[in-house]
Amino acid sequence: MPPVILINGEAADSVPALDRGLQFGDGVFRTIAVSAGRPLNWVNQHARLASDCNALGLACPESELLAAEIATVAPNAATVKIILTRGPAGRGYGIPAEARATRMVAAFDAPEYDAKLAVEGVRVRLCTLRLAVQPRLAGVKSLNRLENVLARSEWRDRTIHEGLLCDGEGRAIEGTMSNIFVVHKGHLVTPRLDRCGVAGAQRDRVRQLAASLDEECEEVDLGIEEIMKADEVFLTNSLIRLWPVREIDGRAFKPGPVARVIREAILAQEARDVLVA
Amino acid sequence: MPPVILINGEAADSVPALDRGLQFGDGVFRTIAVSAGRPLNWVNQHARLASDCNALGLACPESELLAAEIATVAPNAATVKIILTRGPAGRGYGIPAEARATRMVAAFDAPEYDAKLAVEGVRVRLCTLRLAVQPRLAGVKSLNRLENVLARSEWRDRTIHEGLLCDGEGRAIEGTMSNIFVVHKGHLVTPRLDRCGVAGAQRDRVRQLAASLDEECEEVDLGIEEIMKADEVFLTNSLIRLWPVREIDGRAFKPGPVARVIREAILAQEARDVLVA
C-alpha cells in the first residue's frame, strides 16, 4: 500500500495542532483527478496553485516536486488533494518571519459518479446563501470555505446534484463545488470571479478548449434571470469534468451541443495527458 | 509540566490531517485569559461559543468539561484557546452524518503588553482591506479568518498596535483582533455586527458593565467619519482587556473617563472571578 498522505514529503496522517491552516484557514488547496499516477490538467492546476499562493504571500512548491508526490500517493487512478498552509506558529494573526509552510498531498478514492449524469444532465437548486464580496480573496481556493459548507448543507435530496450560488446582488457566480458556463444568445460565457467565487482549473481548461474550437468564452456579469433564459447550462470541476444541467429549480434545460463537444475535448485531452510519458 | 494541548481530552500536539477544521475552516474558536487556573469572563465566553456552534450546527461541549480542561492545561496564569471543529471526514463539503467533533484546548503564555498602553492609549491605523458582508457568519468567531490575517499583514510598524476594519460601505466594524467602542455625543456605542465582524466575549462584558453603570451601550451603524469626531474611542478583547485609543491615522484622541471607569470595572470583576472558588 502506498502512503495515503504525505506531509512535507513524509508519510503522515496528522498536522501540528498549531498549524495556521487549522487556526485561521491560512492556506490554499486544489483537488486533482489522477490517472495512471499522472495529475490531469496539471499545467492549469499548478498555475492556479501558484496564483493562489501569491494572493496569500505563500511560497508555491515546484511543479515537479508536487507531481512526484502525487505519483507516490496515487500510483493508479484516484483523487488527490493538495493543501498548502502557512505552517505552524504561535497565537495571533500576524505572520511570523519564521513561519514554514506545510505541504500536504493526500489521495482519496475517485468519486463514483453515475455516467448518465454527463449525458442526461444534472438537477440544480438555487441556494439561499449569498456569497460575500471580497475582492482580495475572489477566485482563490483558500481554506476559508464555510460558505460552501453552509450552502451544501441546504439540501439533502440525493437527486439534486449541485447548488447554484449568487452574490448579494443576484449575480450567478458558481456551484458549491463547480464553475458554471452558459450558452446565452449563441455565445459561451461564464461569470466573472473578481468579487467572489473560486476559479477552478477545469474552468481554465474549458475556456482554453473553447478558444481552440473557435468558441471564445467571455467572462461576464450574469444575472440568475439570464441563466434561466439560456440555451445551455453546464457545470465543470476536475472530478465531474463537465455535467450539462437539465433543471434549475423546476426550469428544464436540454443538454446541448456545446457541452457535448467540450466534454469530448476534455476527455480527449486527458487521454493524451496520460499517454504522453 | 502540565500538557499544553488537550485534544478530545487527551494530551496531543496534532490533529488528523483530514479534520474539517483544516480542510474548510469548519469550526469556531475562542481566546480566553486564565488566572489561577480559572477562565475569566467565562459565562460570556461559553455563551458565545454555544451561539457560534449553533450557527454552524456543531454541538457545544458543556461549560464544566471545558473549564476542567482549561484548568488542566493552564493551572496558573495563561492564555487558552479553545477550538471546536466538525472533526475528521472524507473529501467534499457535505457534512457526513458520522462526523465527530474535535475539541482542542491549548495553553499559551499570556502576552506581555506594556502596561502603559492601558493608560496612555494605543495607536491605530485604518486598514485598506474591507470586510465582506456575510450575515450567516456575522458575529461568529469561525476558523475562516483570512481577512484578519491579510489585514494584520498590512503594517509592520511596532508602534501601531491595531488596525481598524470597515465594511465595503465605510462603516467601522472592529479591529483586527478587538472590538471597538466609541463615546459619541455623550453616548457609549459600538458597531452592529449583523453583517460582518466578530462579537467578542469581552464586548459582551463591557456592554453589561456599562449597563450596570447606567451607561447603556447601543449597537449602531457607525461611519468612520463619526469615529474621527468621537470624544473617546477604545478597544477591547479578552487579553488586552481595554485599551483607550490615542491616535487613528494621525487624528489624536485623549484617553477618557468612560474607558477608565469600564477598565477598572473589568479588573474588579476579574479579581472577584478568581477569588470566588
Q: Which of B108, B138, B165 is the last residue of a domain?
A: B108
- Which three three-digit cell numbers place residue A28? 490554499
User: For residue A277, what pLDDT is reported?
Assistant: 54
Same domain, yes or no: A268 and A133: yes
What are A160-186's pLDDT values in tens digits? 999 999 999 999 999 999 999 999 888
Give the minimum alpha-carbon distance from B274 to chain A in angstroms, rounded to a whole number: 24
Burial tier of B158 (Cβ tally within 10 Å: 0-12, 13-18, 19+): exposed
In a mutagenesis test of the A interface, which of B142, B150, B157, B194 is the best target, namely the one with the most A β-carbons within 10 Å?
Answer: B150
Nearest by CB to B93, which of A57, A133, A145? A145
Within an 8 Å CB–CB cutoff, is residue B70 touching chain A? no
C-alpha dist (Å) from residue B272 to A70, B130, B206, B215 = 57, 39, 16, 22
- Which three three-digit cell numbers place residue B277? 472558588
Residue A90 has pLDDT above 90, yes or no: no
Contact of B273 with B149, CB cutoff 8 Å: no
CATH number of the CATH domain containing B33? 3.30.470.10
Contact of A83 with B22, CB cutoff 8 Å: yes
Extract the runs of DSSP E, i.e. beta strands, from B93-231: 102-108, 122-131, 162-167, 172-175, 179-184, 187-191, 218-220
ipTM score above 0.90:
yes
Consecutive H or E run containing B28 = strand B27-35
Same domain, yes or no: A99 and A228: no
What are A179-229's pLDDT values in tens digits? 999 998 889 999 999 999 999 999 999 999 999 998 899 999 999 999 999
Same domain, yes or no: B84 and B164: no
User: Hey, which residues of A are catalytic here?
Assistant: 31, 141, 174
Within an 8 Å CB–CB cutoff, is residue A93 touching chain B? yes
Same domain, yes or no: A123 and A246: yes
Q: Which of A51, A75, A50 minimizes the C-alpha distance to A62?
A: A50
Give the minimum alpha-carbon distance from B262 to chain A in angstroms, rounded to a whole number: 25
Contact of B103 with B84, CB cutoff 8 Å: yes
Residue range A137-142: average pLDDT? 98
Residue range A35-47: average pLDDT? 96
Q: How many Cβ atoms are within 10 Å of A53's Cβ, its own excluded?
A: 18
Q: How many CA atoms lie within 13 A of A150 on its CB side?
A: 23
Q: Which is it for strands A102-108 and A78-85: parallel, antiparallel or unpaired?
A: antiparallel
Same domain, yes or no: A262 and A146: yes
User: For residue A238, what pLDDT is reported?
Assistant: 98
Structural domain span for residue B149:
117-275
User: For residue B1, what pLDDT is reported?
Assistant: 61
Same domain, yes or no: A162 and A233: yes
- Which three three-digit cell numbers place residue B179? 472590538
pTM of the predicted model over 0.95: yes
Contact A29 B16 (CB under 8 A): no
Within an 8 Å CB–CB cutoff, is residue B61 touching chain A? no
Same domain, yes or no: B96 and B205: no
Same domain, yes or no: B170 and B236: yes
Residues 18-37 of B with CB under 8 A from A: 18-26, 29, 31
Residue A255 has pLDDT above 90, yes or no: yes
User: For residue B185, what pLDDT is reported?
Assistant: 85
Contact B79 A92 (CB under 8 A): no
Give the minimum alpha-carbon distance from B266 to chain A in angstroms, rounded to a whole number: 23
Contact A94 B136 (CB under 8 A): no
Which residues of chain B fall below pLDDT 50?
Answer: none
Same domain, yes or no: A124 and A244: yes
Nearest by CB to A7, which of B17, B93, B104? B17
Q: Which residues of B touch A111 (CB under 8 A)?
A: 91-92
Q: Which of A91, A108, A125 is the last residue of a domain?
A: A108
Contact B132 A134 (CB under 8 A): yes
Same domain, yes or no: B190 and B57: no
Contact of A66 with A82, CB cutoff 8 Å: yes
Contact B177 A93 (CB under 8 A): yes
Within an 8 Å CB–CB cutoff, is residue A155 touching chain B? no
Q: Which of B87, B108, B129 is the last residue of a domain?
A: B108
Residues 156-215 of B with CB under 8 A from A: 168, 176-177, 196
Q: Which residues of A touch B86 (CB under 8 A)?
A: 149
Is B141 in the active site? Answer: yes
Q: How many Cβ atoms are within 10 Å of B119's Cβ, its own excluded?
A: 13
The per-type count for chain B, helices as H runs and strands as E runs, is 8, 16
Going by pLDDT thresholds of 50, 70 and 90, the confidence category of residue A1 is low
Give how many domains chain B has, as a whole number. 2
Exposure string over B81-103, b if 16+ CB within 10 A, otherwise e: bbbbbbbbbeebbbbeeebebbb
Contact of B97 with B61, CB cutoff 8 Å: no
Same domain, yes or no: B122 and B100: no
CA-angle at A150, arms to A160 and A42, nearest 5°: 75
User: For residue B146, what pLDDT is reported?
Assistant: 98
User: For residue B277, what pLDDT is reported?
Assistant: 54
Q: How many Cβ atoms are within 10 Å of B170's Cβ, its own excluded?
A: 11
Contact B150 A133 (CB under 8 A): no
Name residues whose C-beta falls within 8 Å of residue A69's C-beta, 6 or more positions apart in sequence. Answer: A6, A9, A103, A105
CATH number of the CATH domain containing B190? 3.20.10.10
Contact of A32 with A237, CB cutoff 8 Å: no
Q: Which residues of A touch B198 (CB under 8 A)?
A: none
Same domain, yes or no: B196 and B102: no
Nearest by CB to B145, which of A19, A25, A177? A25
Q: Which residues of B touch A143 (CB under 8 A)?
A: 22-25, 146
Give the minimum alpha-carbon distance from B119 to chain A in angstroms, rounded to a whole number: 23
